[in-house]
């Protein structure tokens, strides 16, 4: 491991992100902002939703925002850079094991996902006042948030190295969208009690643990999965996705 | 000082057949049998030994396996069998140590499109741990050398093909590598830039660096390389200095002679010399052109001698000429071309 090279790789991504700051900002925050506004404000103040829904919704939006940002931040550049133009080649030739390049992408994506997730909180606070946070254990919140961010960027790595340019649309409509709708983002997992089979099936969806984990640490007054289950599941998903992602990265990088 | 060695390299690419070509259909029809594999043997037992400080050329037609060889030597392609070494490091096992020693210009431009030309050089330097001052100095130097100064602050997306190519070469030289790999360095360059590139390559070599380049341009290989390997179908079919290789072809030399006058007798004698394969006489079309039939012009006669030696024939020819009291006015020896060589070793022309 070679720190100078690793930092230079991070520096390159930071530089490119800085250059694309405005589009990045819009892409990260516009969607959660609209969500918060429509569901939390319009629906609630018109009386179609109870006021408590605002607080219930918040962790879900945070989870969506993080997953979208993390996957997007890692997968999209990888897909583009592994294309015919092989933009990544120069970095593959940098004097460092190529796995570190993948890890650098994951770290950078994790940071972006963290920013996107944490920014939802002040945004919600501004648009939805009052919201009832109940941050009883900041440490477990921080831990869950970190695991969610890691999950999203590792997922981005695995997807970005498995999907080619022609199938980006498919990736969003077949993977991300169902994941979000069946990810307990707009409702707590316990709300699926009337659909016992579905309730079991959605447990394979990592986003369930992300939403429920954030719900449990941010607004624990609502029903949620046990924190232990969430931590174990998210850790397993993180490790598995990182493993798959690294393997796919290698097979893309070397012919 | 670092050399390059490969031993019995083999590379088999496994590319899945595209669905459109009946790939899925084949499964259902050919039951019990294995699905047909689409294997391409790109290298088939290639051994090379390149000394440090050498400009070495890999010459061969399209699909011969040149880029695959470069790919294996630069950690980008995993060999199916065999080994490759850069200096003392086995390429596949010690990738990081190898990557420190090499600079690579790929056949297809692979610039980082999110950056400007200067940033590409600066970040490349940073990946190799150059400090920021050294980076900036070296980048400026290379931008000047490759005549890219005015475009330095522009995104490379808008560069012309040749400019991208120049920048790729500059980038490969940024960290001053011991070995430079150039996969078809002069493809797509205008004649002037090509000459500039040749000069840069020679200069870099004079600083003790090893250079491996690939080309299918015979002229370039001849002009630039100290040694060559001719590759075909993933095998090394001939290796040596350009002139050694050319001398290995029988009858590869052409001696273009001009005599003071015509002499059928001399022609016969020339045919009898050891090593001469063929003698062809033809009249020189002088400035007088059509009036060539006139007595005054027909006595200036040109003869091409195809032989398998060059310079050593001259004294014998001169002796024959003086014996026949014919004046020898002009001699030009052209060495056999690499094209003939390829033809000789493979039985087919390079352009086939
Ligand atoms: N990534 C790949 N996947 C499958 N086959 C490949 C791949 N790269 C090269 N090949 C095949 O390997 C063979 C050798 O290719 P290579 O690129 O090494 O040739 P080359 O000598 O560089 O040719 P050129 O002069 O056209 O650049 C070709 O038949 C090519 O189709
Ligand atoms: Mg090639």
Q: What is the CATH number of the domain that holds B330?
A: 3.30.70.1340
Token pair for B250: 């029988």
Which residues does chain A have within 8 Å of residue B75's beta carbon, measured at their own beta carbons?
A: 92-93, 254
Distance between CA atoms of residues A141 and B223, nearest Å: 68
> What's the pLDDT at B21?
42
Dist. CA B233 → ligand 1 center (Å):
10
B63 to chain A nearest CA, in Å? Answer: 16
Pocket test for ligand 1, best of B9, B14, B16, B40 (most atoms within 8 A of CB): B40
| B218 and B147 together in one domain | yes
Ligand with the closest atom to the CA of B235: 1
| B257 and B241 together in one domain | no
> What's the pLDDT at B30?
42
Among the partner residues A12, A87, A254, nearest to B110 by beta-carbon distance: A87
Which residues does chain B have within 8 Å of residue A3's beta carbon, measured at their own beta carbons?
A: none
| Contact between A12 and B115 using a beta-carbon 8 Å cutoff | yes
Single residue among B213, B246, B279 that ends a domain in this structure? B246
Condensed to tens digits (0 to 9), the pLDDT of residues A76-133 reads 889 988 887 789 999 999 999 999 999 999 999 999 999 988 888 888 888 777 777 7
Give me the DSSP letters along B93-117: T-HHHHHHHEEEE-SS----TTSBH
Ligand with the closest atom to the CA of B60: 1
Q: Is residue B257 part of a domain?
A: yes
* Nearest residue of chain B to residue A4 (CA atoms): B129
B351 to chain A nearest CA, in Å? Answer: 27
From the alpha carbon of B68, which atom of ligand 1 is closest?
18
Which residues does chain A have within 8 Å of residue B120's beta carbon, measured at their own beta carbons?
A: 90
* H-type alpha helices, B146-254: 161-173, 191-206, 218-224, 242-247
Backbone angles phi, psi at B189, to 5 degrees: -100, 145
> What's the pLDDT at A100?
94
> In sequence order, what E strands does B260-297 have?
276-283
| B236 and B257 together in one domain | no
> What's the pLDDT at B3?
87
Condensed to tens digits (0 to 9), the pLDDT of residues A123-144 reads 888 877 777 777 788 888 899 9
| B123 and B220 together in one domain | yes
CATH number, position B105 = 3.40.50.300
* H-type alpha helices, A171-205: 177-181, 196-201
Interface pTM, i.e. ipTM: 0.87
Domain span holding position B231: 4-15+37-246
pLDDT tens over chain B, length 352 residues: 678 998 989 999 987 655 444 333 334 444 444 555 688 898 998 999 999 899 999 988 888 899 999 999 999 999 999 999 998 999 999 999 999 999 999 998 899 999 999 999 999 999 999 999 999 999 999 999 999 999 988 999 889 888 999 999 999 999 999 999 999 988 888 888 889 999 999 999 999 999 999 988 777 888 899 999 989 888 888 898 888 887 776 667 778 788 888 778 888 888 888 888 878 776 544 444 444 444 444 445 778 787 878 788 888 888 888 888 888 888 888 776 666 677 667 656 565 5
- Cα B227 to its chain centre, rounded Å, is 10
| B156 and B11 together in one domain | yes
CB distance A59 to A218 below 8 Å: yes
* Nearest residue of chain B to residue A3 (CA atoms): B129
| B241 and B257 together in one domain | no
| B237 and B94 together in one domain | yes
* Nearest residue of chain B to residue A86 (CA atoms): B110
Domain span holding position A89: 3-254
B158: Cβ contacts below 8 Å, ≥ 6 apart: none
> What's the pLDDT at B61?
84
> What's the pLDDT at B289?
42
* Of the candidates B258, B255, B260, the residue with the CA atom closest to the CA atom of residue B327: B260
Ligand with the closest atom to the CA of B233: 1
| B174 and B278 together in one domain | no
Token pair for B192: 């002037």
Which residues does chain A have within 8 Å of residue B161's beta carbon, measured at their own beta carbons?
A: none
Distance between CA atoms of residues A96 and A99, nearest Å: 8
Condensed to tens digits (0 to 9), the pLDDT of residues A196-220 reads 888 888 888 888 999 999 988 888 8
Contacts within 8 Å (CB) and 24+ apart, B268-276: B269/B320, B269/B324, B270/B303, B270/B305, B270/B317, B270/B320, B273/B307, B273/B313, B273/B316, B273/B317, B273/B320, B275/B307, B275/B308, B275/B309, B275/B313, B276/B305, B276/B306, B276/B307, B276/B313
Distance between CA atoms of residues B245 and B229, nearest Å: 9
Q: Is residue B115 part of a domain?
A: yes
| B240 and B260 together in one domain | no
B253-268 per-residue burial string, b: 16 or more CB within 10 A, e: under 16 = bbbebebeeebeebbe
Q: Is residue B136 part of a domain?
A: yes
Single residue among B215, B246, B277 that ends a domain in this structure? B246
| B56 and B172 together in one domain | yes
Q: What is the mean pLDDT of residues A151-160?
A: 93
Q: Is residue B98 part of a domain?
A: yes
> What's the pLDDT at B23?
37
| B263 and B230 together in one domain | no
> What's the pLDDT at B297?
43
| B140 and B190 together in one domain | yes
- CA distances for B203 relative to B137, B169, B196, B217, angstroms: 19, 14, 11, 21
Among the partner residues B75, B123, B128, nearest to A12 by beta-carbon distance: B123
Q: Is residue B331 part of a domain?
A: yes
Cα angle, residue B182 at apex, residues B180 and B183 outer, rounded to 5°:
150
> What's the pLDDT at B188?
81
Asked whether the bond before A130 is cis by omega within 30 degrees of 0, the reply is: yes
Q: Looking at the 3D structure of chain A, how many domains does it have?
A: 1
Q: How many residues make up chain B in this entry?
A: 352
Dist. CA B59 → ligand 2 center (Å):
10
| Contact between B96 and A96 using a beta-carbon 8 Å cutoff | yes
Q: Is residue B119 part of a domain?
A: yes
> What's the pLDDT at A51?
80
């Amino acid at each position: 491991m070679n720190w100078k090279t690793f930092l230079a790789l991070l520096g390159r991504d930071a530089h490119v992100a800085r250059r694309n700051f405005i589009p990045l900002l819009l892409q990260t925050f516009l969607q959660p902002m609209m969500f918060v506004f429509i569901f939390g404000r319009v629906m609630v103040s018109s009386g179609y939703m109870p006021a408590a829904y605002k607080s219930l919704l918040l962790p879900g939006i945070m989870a969506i925002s993080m997953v979208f940002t993390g996957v997007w931040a890692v997968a999209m550049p990888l897909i583009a850079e592994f294309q015919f133009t092989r933009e990544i080649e120069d970095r593959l030739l940098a004097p460092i094991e190529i796995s570190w390049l993948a890890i650098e992408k994951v770290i950078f994506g994790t940071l972006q996902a963290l920013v996107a997730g944490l920014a939802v909180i002040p945004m919600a606070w501004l648009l939805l006042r009052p919201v009832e946070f109940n941050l009883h254990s900041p440490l477990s919140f921080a831990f869950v948030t970190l695991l969610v961010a890691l999950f999203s960027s590792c997922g981005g790595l695995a997807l970005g190295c498995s999907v080619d340019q022609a199938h980006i649309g498919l990736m969003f409509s077949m993977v991300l969208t169902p994941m979000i709708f069946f990810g307990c983002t707009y409702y707590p997992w316990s709300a699926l009690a009337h659909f016992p089979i579905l309730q079991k099936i959605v447990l394979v969806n990592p986003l369930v643990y992300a939403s429920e984990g954030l719900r449990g640490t941010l607004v624990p007054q609502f029903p949620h999965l046990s924190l232990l289950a969430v931590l174990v599941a998210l850790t397993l998903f993180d490790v598995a996705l990182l493993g798959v992602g690294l393997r796919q990265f290698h097979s893309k990088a070397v012919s | 000082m670092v050399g390059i060695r490969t031993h019995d390299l083999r590379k088999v690419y496994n590319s899945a057949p595209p669905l459109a070509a009946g790939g899925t259909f084949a499964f259902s029809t050919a039951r019990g049998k294995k699905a047909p594999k689409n294997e391409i043997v790109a290298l088939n037992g290639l051994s090379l030994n390149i000394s440090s400080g050498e400009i070495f050329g890999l010459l061969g037609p399209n699909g011969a396996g040149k880029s695959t060889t470069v790919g294996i030597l630069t950690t980008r392609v995993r060999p199916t069998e065999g080994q490759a070494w850069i200096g003392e490091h086995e390429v596949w096992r010690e990738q990081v140590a190898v990557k420190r020693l090499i600079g690579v210009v790929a056949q297809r431009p692979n610039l980082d499109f999110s950056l400007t030309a200067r940033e590409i050089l600066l970040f490349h330097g940073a990946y190799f741990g150059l400090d920021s001052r050294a980076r900036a100095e070296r980048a400026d130097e290379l931008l000047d050398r490759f005549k890219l100064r005015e475009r330095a602050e522009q995104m490379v997306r808008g560069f012309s093909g040749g400019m991208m190519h120049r920048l790729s070469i500059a980038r490969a030289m940024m960290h001053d590598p011991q070995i430079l790999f150039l996969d078809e360095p002069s493809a797509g360059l205008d004649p002037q830039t090509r000459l500039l590139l040749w000069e840069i390559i020679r200069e870099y070599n004079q600083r003790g660096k090893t250079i491996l380049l690939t080309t299918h341009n015979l002229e370039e290989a001849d002009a630039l390389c100290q040694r060559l390997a001719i590759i075909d179908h993933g095998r090394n079919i001939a290796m040596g200095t350009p002139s050694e290789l050319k001398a290995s072809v029988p009858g590869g030399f052409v001696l273009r002679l001009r005599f003071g006058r015509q002499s059928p007798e001399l022609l016969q004698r020339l045919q009898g010399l050891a090593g001469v394969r063929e003698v062809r006489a033809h009249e020189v079309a002088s400035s007088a052109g059509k009036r060539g039939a006139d007595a005054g012009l027909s006595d200036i006669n040109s003869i091409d001698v195809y032989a398998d030696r060059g310079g050593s024939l001259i004294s014998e020819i001169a002796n024959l000429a003086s014996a026949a009291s014919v004046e020898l006015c002009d001699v030009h020896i052209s060495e056999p071309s690499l094209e003939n060589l390829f033809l000789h070793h493979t039985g087919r022309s390079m352009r086939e």
